[in-house]
Amino acid sequence: MIQSVETHATLAEAQRAMGSDAIFMAGGTLVMRDVNAGVAATRIVRSSDPVLADIRLSGDGVTIGAGVTMATIAAHRDLAFLAPVARSVGGPQIRNMGTVGGNLFAPHPYGDFAVALLALGARVNVAGQIGAPRPLADVLRERGRVGIVASVHVPRPQAPGDFGFLKVSRIKPKGVSVLSVAAHLPRQGGRIRGARVAFGAMGPMPLQATAVERVLDGQALDAPTIARAAQVAVEGLDPPTDALATAWYRREVAGVHLKRLLERMVRG
Ligand SMILES: Cc1cc2nc3c(=O)[nH]c(=O)nc-3n(C[C@H](O)[C@H](O)[C@H](O)COP(=O)(O)OP(=O)(O)OC[C@H]3O[C@@H](n4cnc5c(N)ncnc54)[C@H](O)[C@@H]3O)c2cc1C
Phi/psi for 13 (5° steps) reads -65, -40
- Strand runs (DSSP E) across 28-171, as ranges? 43-47, 55-57, 61-65, 123-126, 134-135, 149-155, 163-169
Give pLDDT tens digits for 218-241: 999 999 999 999 999 999 999 999
Q: Which atom of ligand 1 is nearest to the CA of 29?
A: 26
First to last CA, the chain: 51
- Which of 47, 99, 140 gets mutated to test ligand 1 (max ligand atoms within 8 A of its CB)? 99
185-193 average pLDDT score? 97
Q: How far does the centroid of ligand 1 lie from the alpha carbon of residue 257, in Å?
A: 25
Q: How far does the centroid of ligand 1 lie from the alpha carbon of residue 143, in Å?
A: 13
Give pLDDT tens digits for 99-147: 999 999 999 999 999 999 999 999 999 998 888 899 999 999 998 889 9
Nearest to 237 by CA among 195, 194, 199: 199
| 120 contacts 157 by C-beta, under 8 angstroms | yes
Please state whether the predicted TM-score (pTM) of the whole model is above 0.75.
Answer: yes
Residues lining ligand 1, Cβ inside 6 A: 23-31, 33, 66, 89-90, 94, 97-99, 101-103, 105-106, 110-113, 148-149, 176
Q: Which protein residue has the closest C-alpha to ligand 1 atom 44? A: 148
| 181 contacts 197 by C-beta, under 8 angstroms | yes
Give pLDDT tens digits for 16-46: 999 999 999 999 999 999 999 988 888 999 9
Which residues, other chains included, contact 66 with Cβ-Cβ below 8 Å and sequence gap of 6+?
Answer: 26, 52, 99, 100, 101, 104, 148, 149, 150, 151, 152
- Domains contained in the chain, CATH given: 4-47 (3.30.43), 50-155 (3.30.465.10), 160-267 (3.30.390.50)
Rg (CA), the chain: 18
108-117 burial string, b = 16+ CB within 10 Å, else e? Answer: bbbbbbbbbb
Q: Which protein residue has the closest C-alpha to ligand 1 atom 13? A: 110
